Structure 1
């Protein structure tokens, strides 16, 4: 739990608008964290210019892959940049940190990669199980909808072979936006081993296929009151929920990837 908050999250909790030094610092933190693991992540950037109300802005996708030639993969995603909010004249020095949207999900992904480091290293060459890839996208609301588009670019960017109908061999795209309740089939097993803390929340799993890629979007419902406000800070995160969901996702990854 401590590593998630202190090591992974704190460097992300800054203003990180696309194309700014804050975004660059967070991108470096994420890339260096993944590169430092023993699993053997190949970490690359896919950068592009796009028009915005602030003019032309450089956006950069962080693409981390294990065994780029693997025919099947699970893509774990969220966005790492923060949203532009109007200045509040009452607190002109305040900036939008976007803890739930989506600094904490980024930290959760880094925690998952760190926690499963040894298992992922041993799994790297196994078939027929899919391998894990991590994509952290710039921007906010649109990231989950552009994720399938970016998986198509992966075929060329990372030399991924095309298998069946799945775009670039991606069999499941799992997008994490904000923290939610745990799945009924996983939580009792974790409770049995005293690995989960009690909490109450609700859940929304959005599951569909697009271009042959299954998409599982994990997002809370209803949205929290601090959604898209300056109050989206670490202090307003419910730590037991964040830590419990991270454990649930670790179990899901272990079972899906065939540990």
Structure 2
């Protein structure tokens, strides 16, 4: 997973704004962003920031059963918020009650961390931190989604010096750790993605300047889910953000060419993670409420993978990968 973290790190540092003589409202500026080229030395420096011990330390704190409403769930949520605060990010919590089909009304908590809380616009990385409830067995949800949570915290930690230089910039970075992604009984519109549904509705209904709402402050939403299995494969899902997907593919290619990927594949012929092809598959995940409220979006998933929970072997066939969405 360190290679994917490094690819994300390169993408984070690549945004640049092209000046225009036409007066723009803040939410229109995203249309004039292009990718900034990093030198080979820049990329090598970023790759050397990888810290697997720190990643494992974070993962160990999250990799426990954490069903909404349990002490473990509260423990993990508090850990994530405290880690991000300790790294100097501004952290707020979106706490709300909602009725569930198994446990009645539960309190959910989305965790929102901002590098620059005064920015108008954000590049958003997101995942979910709750784990699935089952009667049959204990479920720790390594790929779903302890690993993505650990990846995001690890990225913020290893890039702290680089990100400190960007603390007054706009667009800035926002990390969202969604709560309640998992269904309690059966996946459906009222029993799944509780946190994402609540946050998208709240931000869409909260006015901001220039006649916009808070949802329009999100330039791009990159959703990480079901990551952690060997040899993930990602595809471009949306034409509107394909150019940013291609930047991820280019970052991976340059990392490989510079010899920064020591172990690329596990027991297979060498393959790239980010494929130069697209897919029309529809994936139900935390991006859906944002997409339905007007976001243009990019996503890539790994339909070939069999995610494992690291401790108990294969658990189900599913997709693994990124969702990448853009607010118009």
TM-score in terms of structure 1 length: 0.72
**Structure-1 separation of matches of 2:92 and 2:62:** 19
* Alignment partner, residue 167 of structure 2: 124
Displacement after TM superposition at 1:22 (Å)? 0.4
Change (3 A) 1:165 1:59: closer
Q: Is the 8 A contact 2:233 2:303 kept in 1?
A: no
Of the candidates 173, 178, 183, which is equivalent to residue 226 of structure 2? 178
**Structure-2 separation of matches of 1:51 and 1:32:** 28
Q: Is the 8 A contact 1:12 1:26 kept in 2?
A: yes
> For structure 1, which segment, 43-52 or 203-212, has the greater mean C-alpha deviation from structure 2 after superposition?
203-212
> For structure 1, which segment, 99-108 or 179-188, has the greater mean C-alpha deviation from structure 2 after superposition?
179-188
Q: Is the 8 A contact 1:4 1:108 kept in 2?
A: no
* Alignment partner, residue 229 of structure 1: none
RMSD: 3.4
Displacement after TM superposition at 1:223 (Å)? 4.8
Displacement after TM superposition at 1:125 (Å)? 1.6
What SS does structure 2 have at the residue aligned with 1:82?
coil
> For structure 1, which segment, 10-19 or 117-126, has the greater mean C-alpha deviation from structure 2 after superposition?
117-126
The answer to whether structure 1 residue 96 and structure 2 residue 139 are counterparts is: yes
The answer to whether structure 1 residue 34 and structure 2 residue 84 are counterparts is: yes
- 1:21-42, Cα deviation, whole Å (9 max, x unpaired): 10111112111111111xx311
Q: Which structure is larger by alpha-carbon Rg, 1 or 2?
A: 2
Greater RCO, CA 8 A, separation 6+: 1
Q: Is the 8 A contact 1:75 1:174 kept in 2?
A: yes
Of the candidates 70, 73, 87, which is equivalent to residue 23 of structure 1? 73
Of the candidates 135, 139, 146, which is equivalent to residue 86 of structure 1? 135
What SS does structure 1 have at the residue aligned with 2:108?
strand
* Alignment partner, residue 149 of structure 2: 106
* Alignment partner, residue 242 of structure 1: none
Segments of 5+ residues of structure 2 without an aligned counterpart are: 1-50, 183-191, 235-247, 266-270, 315-320
Displacement after TM superposition at 1:212 (Å)? 4.3
Change (3 A) 1:71 1:60: same
Change (3 A) 1:132 1:26: same
TM-score in terms of structure 2 length: 0.58
**Structure-1 separation of matches of 2:136 and 2:223:** 29
Displacement after TM superposition at 1:181 (Å)? 3.3
Change (3 A) 1:149 1:46: closer
Displacement after TM superposition at 1:162 (Å)? 6.1
- 1:162-208, Cα deviation, whole Å (9 max, x unpaired): 67577241111110002333653222210122222312576688799
* Alignment partner, residue 179 of structure 2: 138
Change (3 A) 1:151 1:168: farther
Change (3 A) 1:49 1:85: same
Change (3 A) 1:18 1:76: same
Change (3 A) 1:44 1:224: same
* Alignment partner, residue 110 of structure 2: 61
Segments of 5+ residues of structure 1 without an aligned counterpart are: 89-94, 227-231, 238-244, 247-251, 253-259
